[in-house]
Structure 1
Amino acid sequence: MQTIGLIGGMSWESSAAYYEQLNLGVEKRLGGLASAKTVMTSVDFAEVTALQEAERWDDVAEILTAAGRAVEQAGADFLMLCTTTFHRVADQVEAAVDIPLLHLADVVAEAAKEHRLETVALLGTTFAMSRRFFTDRIASHGLKVITPYAEHHDAVNRIIYDELVHGKIDDSSRRTVIGQIERLWDEGAGGVILGCTELELLVKQSDVEVPIFGCTTLHVQAALDRALA
């Protein structure tokens, strides 16, 4: 079994979901007392979010590349960023280490293609939806990517940052997100990517008819495939 390197803390709720799902996945695949071999370093979410909002991406990259090197030195065989938004600096992190980085956008794009989809939608933080770093990477796999209209970004962003990163699950917020998913389906999306780990805490496939692609779930499954190959 390979050792999975995790850069977490963005948010800790997201990191906890990664850790839990990786270990449950190994237990399911191998049985008995088997658990995942992992190395995790966790950054201060408040610090990197403040730098993100100030557009100080070189400083964000410095923090995350240092985290990546630490995980590599601790024995990781490959690296995962437990976040969508901070994949904005994934290329810098990957360039700073000598182990592969399992890029989240590549993973979700391949999952959408396995479902023979041509158009997918991304639902996540305002930053992830309004910038091109993540959607362009998905589109490079031959997919068309749409996002909600700008006037709907704040509602989803508020739910993520004011509620979900603090572990708060609210039924009215669930209805809001489901409404966005259904609107994206009406606009031509064959599936909707839950492009923020915390959204998977709120919405399940049983809540909607359109196929949804949970980033954490898919990222974890891809990591397990590699670690246990």
Structure 2
Amino acid sequence: MRTVGLLGGMSAESTTYYYQAMNRLVRERLGGLHSMQLLMWSVDFAPIAKMQADGDWAGAGAVLARAAARLEGAGAEAIMIGANTMHIVADQVQAAISVPLIHIADATADAVKARGGSRPLLLATRFTMEKAFYRDRLAAQGVEAQVPDQADRDRLHAIIYDELCQGVVSPASKAEVLAMIARAGDADSVIFGCTEVGLLLSPLDVAAPVIDTALVHAEAGVRFALS
């Protein structure tokens, strides 16, 4: 089994999900007492979140690039950034290492197409929904993501940072996000495009096919480890 390095803590809530999912997937594939061979660097999210809010993406990228280089030095044979939004600095992280970066948007695009979709609704932080880095990467693979309107984007961003990243799961917020999905128009699938969204909603809550990015990214990491 090859060793994967995970940049986590963004937030700690979803990093826990990554760890559980990858170990479960390895056990399902190999059986018995097998588990994921994983190195993790978990950042303090508060300074990263402030850099995000301030638009200091280069500073945030430098933090992750240093951590990724340390994971490679410790033996990681590939790196994963356990957050959709922080893939805005994926190129900066990749430039700091010589091993591959397993990109969450690539895993997401593959999963959308595998479910027969091409026009998914992207539910994510405001950064991921509004900046080009993520939607352009999906579009390059034939997936044209739609996003909610401005008011819904702002509310969803607040739910992610003020509630989900802090371990708060509210039935009222769940109802709000389901209403956003109902207003989505002609979307043929739904991307849980923030790794915390899957903590609030289940695929069973949504009639359309769902792509939980944390899960499909974890699956991509396990495929690498076992390849």
Give the TM-score, by structure 2 length. 0.97
* 1:128 Cα deviation after fit: 1.1
| Distance (whole Å) between structure 2 residues aligned to residue 197 and residue 57 of structure 1 | 19
Letter in 1 for 2:19: Y
Question: Could you say which residue in structure 2 is the equivalent of 1:151?
Answer: 151
Q: Secondary structure at the match of 2:5?
A: strand
Question: Structure 1, residues 53-98: CA drift from partner, whole Å, max 9, x if none?
Answer: 1111111111010011011011111110000111110011011100
Question: Could you say which residue in structure 1 is the equivalent of 2:205?
Answer: 207
Superposed counterparts of 1:13-52, under 5 Å: 13-52=13-52
| Distance (whole Å) between structure 1 residues aligned to residue 56 and residue 100 of structure 2 | 25
Structure 1's consecutive aligned runs of 4 or more residues displaced over 6 angstroms after TM superposition are none
Question: Could you say which residue in structure 1 is the equivalent of 2:165?
Answer: 165
* 1:144 Cα deviation after fit: 1.3
| Distance (whole Å) between structure 2 residues aligned to residue 119 and residue 177 of structure 1 | 18
Question: Could you say which residue in structure 2 is the equivalent of 1:6?
Answer: 6
Question: Could you say which residue in structure 1 is the equivalent of 2:63?
Answer: 63
Question: Could you say which residue in structure 1 is the equivalent of 2:90?
Answer: 90
Question: Could you say which residue in structure 1 is the equivalent of 2:115?
Answer: 115
| Distance (whole Å) between structure 1 residues aligned to residue 56 and residue 160 of structure 2 | 22
Identity, in percent, stands at 40
* 1:118 Cα deviation after fit: 2.2
Which residues of structure 1 form unaligned runs of 5+?
Answer: none
Q: Secondary structure at the match of 1:34?
A: coil
Q: Secondary structure at the match of 2:201?
A: coil
| Distance (whole Å) between structure 2 residues aligned to residue 110 and residue 6 of structure 1 | 21
* 1:150 Cα deviation after fit: 1.0
Give the TM-score, by structure 1 length. 0.96
Question: Could you say which residue in structure 2 is the equivalent of 1:79?
Answer: 79
Q: Secondary structure at the match of 1:210?
A: coil
- Among 221, 224, 227, the residue aligned to 1:226: 224
| Distance (whole Å) between structure 1 residues aligned to residue 28 and residue 117 of structure 2 | 29
Q: Secondary structure at the match of 2:163?
A: helix
**Contact kept in structure 2, 1:104 and 1:219, CA below 8 Å:** yes
Question: Structure 1, residues 136-173: CA drift from partner, whole Å, max 9, x if none?
Answer: 11111012111011121121111111111121111111
Q: How many pairs align?
A: 227
Q: Secondary structure at the match of 1:69?
A: helix
**Contact kept in structure 2, 1:182 and 1:210, CA below 8 Å:** no
| Distance (whole Å) between structure 2 residues aligned to residue 95 and residue 113 of structure 1 | 29
| Distance (whole Å) between structure 2 residues aligned to residue 48 and residue 123 of structure 1 | 21
Letter in 2 for 1:103: H
Superposed counterparts of 1:169-184, under 5 Å: 169-184=169-184
| Distance (whole Å) between structure 2 residues aligned to residue 57 and residue 147 of structure 1 | 22
* 1:10 Cα deviation after fit: 0.5
